[in-house]
A and B are shown apart, each in its own frame.
Chain A
Amino acid sequence: MHLAAYFPGVNNTTVWADPRSESQIDFSSFEHLARTAERGRFDFFFLAEGLRLREHNGLIHDLDVVGRPESLTLLNALAAVTDRLGLAATVNATFNEPYELARRLATLDHLSEGRAAWNVVTSSDAFTGENFRRGGYLDRADRYTRAAEFVATARELWDSWTPDGHSRPFAHSGRHFTVSGEFTVPRSPQGHPVVIQAGDSDEGREFAASAADIIFTRHGTPEAGRVFYADVKARLGKYGRRPADLKIMPGVTFVLGDTDAEAQENASEIRRQQVSPQNALLALEQVWGRDLSAYDPDGPLPEIDPDPDSALVQGRVRHEDPFVVAARWRALSEAKGLSIRQTVIETTARQSFIGSPQSVAAELSAFVAGGAADGFILVPHLTPGGLDDFVDRVVPLLQERGVFRSEYTGSTLRSHLGLAEPVWKG
């Protein structure tokens, strides 16, 4: 089993009103979570990215945690306070250029002695583009073609130094990039930093099957996980890759208690904190695409239909047809007699693993044994102490079960993941 720690900063599941919640930006918070993950012998530490502050109804969204550091800069600093933990940065392939990013990633791999990873995300929305030279012009259809060419170009740069330390000129000419010259950084300890993909469309899965070492997915239930797992692993053959070459890691949340019943109680309390009355209305507006501020969060769902063309929600990817979601929410609300807030709590804030440490360890093990994942990216709900209990109480049980390492056996992230160094293509 592979385990990663997601830093619960900018995120609508992060509970900031809890008295134990600390800064999402001070270095001490990142240091705490990373040291905890390393104490738990985790594979890697993970940072998400967003390149523009989210908006709602034309206003900056003000309810959730907001404000984050730039990932690669922060991970270099974390390399100083950790020894073995992998360090994964989410960096957008649409608003960066291959030469600069390949150089920064190779730098992190050198300075961390082989612990760098890159989560390749894409975004073609003009909303984010307004912060960049490119602007918002990149067509949606070009997202993954640019990302794929970006990764391929980065690999050419990483391969432009021979393993014995000689630099050779590179030249790449393609649809999105025409670049040439000499790369300034020798081949890094991992050969290539580990590549992660996080996206769910057919194009996204195909791109991951062809080029990624890890997929970060949202499919965090056993059923959906098995379907996704089988689908993605089946795509590998046509790229000459084996199932073990691509690790599938859903992002999951967890709540612990001394007993299963206590964990359930804790979970309900956390859900109530995550979904304040204001957040409940916001979640509703994000599905409906309409201003619903006049509704009572403790009252019933609105009768009116969603507006499918709404410009109300900005900076968050829509994953589903709003009519389908609204119909599902109405059905649930009527069947159980739930208010707006209760409905939102039921549908959006359900934690993935809830129980005593024994139960959670058993469930996680069964999930992996059942072919639904190769491991997990754990998303705590508290910054920065949200992983402490997991590491102290669940990790030892996973180790006893023999499904998770007790000591690091290698020093690079590739070695933790059981991935070979990529073959040098000079």
Chain B
Amino acid sequence: MSANRPLHLAAEIGGPPHYDAGHYLALARLAERGALDYVTLGDSFARPGLDALSVLSRIAPDTDRVGLVPTVTTTHTEPFHVSSAVATLDWVSRGRAGWNVEVSTTEAEARLFGRRGAAPADALWREAGETADVAARLWDSWEDDAEIRDVATGRFIDRDKLHYVDFAGSTFSVRGPAIVPRPPQGRPVVVLDGTSAAAREPAARHADVVHARATTPEQAAAIRDDVRRRAAAHGRDPDTLRVLVALTVDLGDAETAPEPGLESGPLLAGRGSYFRGGPVDLAELITQWHRAGAVDGFHLTPITPGRDLERIVNGTVALLQHRSLFRTFHPGGTLREHLGLARPAARYALARTAGEEA
């Protein structure tokens, strides 16, 4: 495995809820200054806080380069609305949108909607995979050049370049096409935490970036290999996938931590492996794991965003840049460009031109 794959870094900017844009904007700008690939903002219908996609849309015009990846859940939402909202985030951010796909497993969340009861994780992740699938089809449902503005024939669009997706999933169906034209990235970047067994398969099939919790480089490499193998089995090129290790980081007590590194005790539920130490220690860990070829990068969740993200950017990232392990600026404009992922061709356009040639 190549040890000089480019390193990708991302950070979560959630934490205790804030109800104004300023707090999130300051964090996103900080991440942007550190040339991070993207920021994530977690969300759930059952935790205090604002709608994450709205928050990242609110800060999009005030940021320039950093990718914006909200969590949007699939269990109680409408796939058609979700695909429209994520595509719109891509339009307003001029190609910087991603979507962290999550499910809602609890009875409490189900009661907020009163539409269906709680369901087992397996079924919910299957549905989440279908939602990601239909969203991608909807993003492809307008070919890039569907808008023609042809004065001679009076046609604004070429209807042959708009496509019904006619998707029938296990719990929903969508006719299509999208109401939103194909977004700047073609398809916004789909992120999925593939740590759990139930989520691994949808991650391998539908995600561009997979987050994975791991406590050793070997474990991370094993997950990465597994995801890539499964992706290949679905006919995907595994090199179109990025696997980022999810770490919760506490850089607050570098001096007092007896020994920097990953906690060997119980992991914080759902928040990734827990790293405690100083910014330099974190840079060491990232360097080692990345040099070992175990991962494509890291998704860091600061335990206290204001304090820890500042230390990540000014300490850890600065050191990685100094070692030439991480870029010092965003060479491209879109999130796909940051991740080294090509802009996908629209599948219906490919099918149509193939049909025309046949």
Which positions in A face B, CB cutoff 8 Å?
A: 16-17, 25-27, 31, 50-53, 59-60, 62-70, 72-74, 76-77, 79-81, 95-97, 99-100, 103-104, 106-108, 110-111, 113, 130-133, 135, 167, 177-182, 184-186, 276-279
CA A81 to CA B60, docked complex, whole Å: 10
Asked whether A69 and B92 contact (CB < 8 A) given A100-B77, A111-B21, A279-B154, the answer is yes
CA A16 to CA B89, docked complex, whole Å: 24
Q: Kindly provide the distance from the CB of A66 to the nearest chain B CB, expressed in whole angstroms.
A: 6
CA A167 to CA B172, docked complex, whole Å: 34
B162: Cβ under 8 A from any A Cβ:
yes
Residues of A near B17 (CB, < 8 A) are 184
B85: Cβ under 8 A from any A Cβ:
yes
**Which B residues from 129 to 181 make CB contacts under 8 A with A?**
142, 147, 149, 151, 153-159, 162, 171-177, 179-181
A70 partner, pick from B21, B45, B180, beta carbons under 8 A: B180
Comparing B32-40, B49-57, B221-229, B253-261, the segment that makes contact with chain A is B49-57
Q: Quick check: B46 and A181 within 8 Å, CB to CB? A: yes
Q: Quick check: A27 and B156 within 8 Å, CB to CB? A: no
Asked whether A110 and B57 contact (CB < 8 A) given A69-B92, A99-B112, the answer is no
Q: Kindly provide the distance from the CB of B25 to the nearest chain A CB, expressed in whole angstroms.
A: 9
Q: Quick check: A103 and B53 within 8 Å, CB to CB? A: no
Interface centre among B48, B80, B155, B179 (most CB of A within 10 A): B179
B232: Cβ under 8 A from any A Cβ:
no
Asked whether A179 and B156 contact (CB < 8 A) given A27-B61, A185-B50, the answer is no
In the complex, 25 of the A-B residue pairs with CB atoms within 8 angstroms, ordered by the A residue number, are A25-B91, A27-B91, A53-B179, A60-B162, A64-B156, A70-B87, A73-B54, A73-B84, A73-B89, A80-B58, A80-B61, A97-B115, A99-B76, A99-B113, A100-B45, A100-B76, A100-B77, A130-B174, A131-B174, A131-B176, A133-B78, A133-B172, A178-B114, A185-B19, A276-B154
Q: Quick check: A107 and B54 within 8 Å, CB to CB? A: yes
Residues of A near B177 (CB, < 8 A) are 53, 60
B330: Cβ under 8 A from any A Cβ:
no
B301: Cβ under 8 A from any A Cβ:
no
Residues of B near A66 (CB, < 8 A) are 156-157
Can you add 6 more A-B contacts, CB < 8 Å, to A53-B162, A181-B109?
A: A67-B181, A72-B85, A73-B57, A97-B76, A100-B77, A131-B175
How many chain B residues touch A (Cβ–Cβ < 8 Å)? Answer: 64
Residues of A near B176 (CB, < 8 A) are 131
Q: Kindly provide the distance from the CB of A268 to the nearest chain B CB, expressed in whole angstroms.
A: 18
CA A184 to CA B19, docked complex, whole Å: 11
B108: Cβ under 8 A from any A Cβ:
yes
B92 partner, pick from A53, A77, A96, A135, beta carbons under 8 A: A77
Q: Quick check: B114 and A80 within 8 Å, CB to CB? A: no
Residues of B near A103 (CB, < 8 A) are 45, 51
Residues of B near A133 (CB, < 8 A) are 78-79, 171-172
B212: Cβ under 8 A from any A Cβ:
no
Residues of B near A135 (CB, < 8 A) are 173
Task: Encode contact with A along B54-92: 1 for CB under 8 Å, 0 otherwise.
Answer: 110111111000000000000011111100110111011
Q: Kindly provide the distance from the CB of B345 to the nearest chain A CB, expressed in whole angstroms.
A: 19
Q: Quick check: A62 and B158 within 8 Å, CB to CB? A: yes
Residues of A near B87 (CB, < 8 A) are 69-70
Q: Quick check: B157 and A62 within 8 Å, CB to CB? A: yes
Residues of A near B91 (CB, < 8 A) are 25-27, 69, 74
Which 5 pairs, one residue from A and one from B, show the smallest C-beta to C-beta distance? A278-B154, A77-B92, A73-B88, A130-B175, A70-B84
Q: Quick check: A79 and B58 within 8 Å, CB to CB? A: yes
Asked whether A181 and B111 contact (CB < 8 A) given A51-B179, A65-B156, the answer is yes
Interface centre among A111, A132, A279 (most CB of B within 10 A): A111
Asked whether A69 and B112 contact (CB < 8 A) given A63-B156, A131-B174, the answer is no
Q: Quick check: B157 and A77 within 8 Å, CB to CB? A: no
Interface centre among A70, A99, A132, A180 (most CB of B within 10 A): A70
CA A108 to CA B78, docked complex, whole Å: 19
B94: Cβ under 8 A from any A Cβ:
yes
Residues of A near B46 (CB, < 8 A) are 181-182, 184
B356: Cβ under 8 A from any A Cβ:
no
Residues of A near B88 (CB, < 8 A) are 69-70, 73-74
Residues of A near B171 (CB, < 8 A) are 133
Look across to chain B and name the residue whose beta carbon is closest to the beta carbon of A10. Answer: B179
CA A374 to CA B358, docked complex, whole Å: 61
Q: Kindly provide the distance from the CB of B57 to the nearest chain A CB, expressed in whole angstroms.
A: 4
CA A53 to CA B325, docked complex, whole Å: 48
Q: Kindly provide the distance from the CB of A304 to the nearest chain B CB, expressed in whole angstroms.
A: 24
